[in-house]
Amino acid sequence: MSESPKSGNESGSDAVKALSNDLDANIKWLSGELGTEPDIVIRRFQVLRNKRAALVYISDISNDASINTLMMSMLDEGLKPVADEYEEEPLQALMLRSITVGAIRQLNSLDHVLLAILEGCSVILLDGFATVIAADTGGSEKRGVEEPSSQTVVRGPKEGFTESVRTNTALIRAKIKSADLRMEYKRIGKRTQTTVVVVYIRGIAEEKTIQEVNRRLDLIDTDSILESGYIEEFIQDKTFTPFPLFQNTERPDAVAAGLLEGQFAIIVDGTPFVLLAPVTFIKFFQSSEDYYQRYDIASFLRLIRLSSFLISMLLPSLYIAITTFHQEMLPTSLLISLAAQREGVPFPALIEAMLMELTFEILREAGVRMPRIIGSAISIVGALVLGQSAVQAGLVSAAMVIVVSFTAIASFVIPSVNMGSAARLIRFAMMFLAGTFGLFGIMAGLMIILAHMSGLRSFGVSYLTPLSPLVPGNLKDVFVRVPWWAMKKRPSMYGGEPTTRQGSGKQSAENQGNNSQEGKRDR
């Protein structure tokens, strides 16, 4: 690393990162730091009565049109005469009279100058000044706003977050047009200097919770933050748990709904997945579409999701326990049918289920990692391996194929991928307990899981809220969803007192309708 230039009136350790008054010294330091790659552009020119200047930017992450506009605005002959009255302050002349692009700011530190260039800004250096001007000319190619690929809905907005933090914050502001919406920017990662934004609504989010998340973020000391998963692991309340303590989503409407209920969001530059917290267990079974459909249909679908979670976690273990230890629970005809199917299978039910589940997990991972053009081939091979061929070879029974297939289908019903993964991990432990102790092992495993979940916290909020501790006022949007007009209070589970979020418009409309009907009868 080249030695950083020092300003004329500073020395010692405090001057190491200060800009120099000498233009050539500043350019030499920047060239040493950025290297001589072709995308590093250092353009020398003269402004304001032959004042030496330089423009430094990275061509691949800066917008060419903005750069051209910036250069033309500074070199325009028609603007030079107005600089006479600013002869003692050329920087002010450039900022007030010449530069016409985007946002500009003054920088005095070499580290800040280097970071601005790496972000896509164009830096203007003037000879004789230890201050530079950074103009926002960023605008490299980015993915546009598209429908989320991991959280699709039949009814609802089709827009999703992108990898650009500016686009993501704009999508949230478009949903919540309130002056109380707050966005606190941070930089995390000594090497990557990743932009991280904490978003919340003042007056709705709990103040202590916002202070706590800022404290945890400030304590992160790492080289890189490349995805929101890094942040999640650094600041979550408990590490050794299969259950997710953050909700991640690609949907701006889901984030806006969470903010309006008292949650906060964490946006990380470079990923479309935004984190939401505090979070409870039941949140992972709620879909954005639940609030766009009729309440009865939404409630029915939510109950299906909760049932699918239990099926995904317990169905193979129940099959193992009943067929191994508790055959008396089955009807005689079904027991005879299962015994006939298992007559030629050389493995006990536990080993048979383990082999089938591991085979399915391998096929699922292969389907995710393989190129899409040959993904269909994996599906065909999986159907043959897990289906007819395995049964005909006598390696597994037909009933086990049905159990594993139905378990896999149920796992895909869960809206949250993280919660589905937790069910997959727990499934193997429950299968082992069922194969060892039968139904008693399953009950012991469920008790351990409930005890573990009751001790989990997400930024101080109990994971099983509002079920444990029981909050009757918050049960309107748990297993079922009541009509919108009945949810007058905002949930209090995130730390704050419940506040009114809507009036009694439904009752007023009904009263008006009744009055209208009475008026017709009078006429």
Whether the CB-CB separation of 128 and 91 falls below 8 Å is answered with no
pTM, full prediction: 0.84
Confidence grade of residue 384 (pLDDT, cut at 50, 70, 90): low
* Mean pLDDT of the region 410-420: 91
Percent share of the chain, pLDDT over 70: 85
> Angle at CA 268, nearest 5°, toward 263 and 274?
40
What's the sign of the alpha-carbon dihedral 99, 102, 108, 114? negative
Structure tokens at 454: 């009751």
pLDDT for 378 equals 66
The sign of the torsion formed by the CA atoms of 129, 130, 135, 141 equals positive
The three-state DSSP-derived secondary structure of 192-203 is CCEEEEEEEECC
pLDDT the model gives residue 115: 87
- The predicted pLDDT at position 383 comes to 64
Percent of the chain with pLDDT over 90: 37
User: pLDDT per residue over 499-519, tens digit each?
Assistant: 777 776 555 455 555 555 555
Going by pLDDT thresholds of 50, 70 and 90, the confidence category of residue 246 is: very high
Residue 23 pLDDT: 86
| Average pLDDT of the residues in 122-151 | 83
pLDDT band of residue 459 (cuts 50, 70, 90) is very high
* 187 vs 343 pLDDT, higher one: 187
Q: Which of 68-82, 144-158, 211-225, 281-295 has the lowest mean pLDDT?
A: 68-82
The model's confidence at residue 250, banded by pLDDT at 50, 70 and 90, is very high
Q: Report the chain's mean pLDDT, rounded to a whole number.
A: 83
Instruction: Kindly state the average pLDDT of the residues 373-381.
Output: 65
